[in-house]
Structure 1
Amino acid sequence: MSALFRRTKKNPADRMVTLVGKPGCHLCDDARAVVREVCAQTGASWEERDITQDEELHRAYWEQIPVVLIDNEQHTFWRVDPVRLRDALGS
């Protein structure tokens, strides 16, 4: 297979998971617990962004929160499946 078409698997420790949510959101609380656990297991970094503090995020995701991004690409929304997230991180 050509090197151009070969997909390089990233090390989970080199990945950034972003949880987009807002205060008082019970689904965001559930998502946070899953993201925190999976990132601790895989070594991936994670951060949380509040849509009430970011107009661009609010426009993009207000109907989908919580939203999980991996390396700034949308991975999922509403419910976070730990197995799917772990797989997406390459672990």
Structure 2
Amino acid sequence: MKQLLAILLSSGLVLSFSLSATDFAEAKTKVKTYKNCTELNRDYKGGVARSSSVKNKGGKTRYKPYVSKALYDANKKSDRDKDWIACER
């Protein structure tokens, strides 16, 4: 009886971990990739920064960038000056 209970509990744990891992993977794949900076700036006026501690190399900007590692990584091609902020304005 104890062995059956142990098997059921361990299989339940394995199943719950596998379900949460797929939910996380689905959330990660829903990040939008923009064709160019014009499209990205319609949704995020200041662009997208990889982290909040990033400093802009290009000088003064009008808007503060939105911080999202996943969104930045999906649109990394739009960061021309490689300062970890894509499409800053």
Select the structure that is richer in strand: 1
- Indicate whether the TM-score tops 0.5: no
**What TM-score does the superposition give when structure 1 sets the normalisation length?**
0.25
Q: Considering only CA atoms, is the larger Rg found in Structure 1 or Structure 2?
A: 2
**What TM-score does the superposition give when structure 2 sets the normalisation length?**
0.26
Select the structure that is richer in helix: 2
| Higher RCO (CA < 8 A, seq sep 6+) | 1
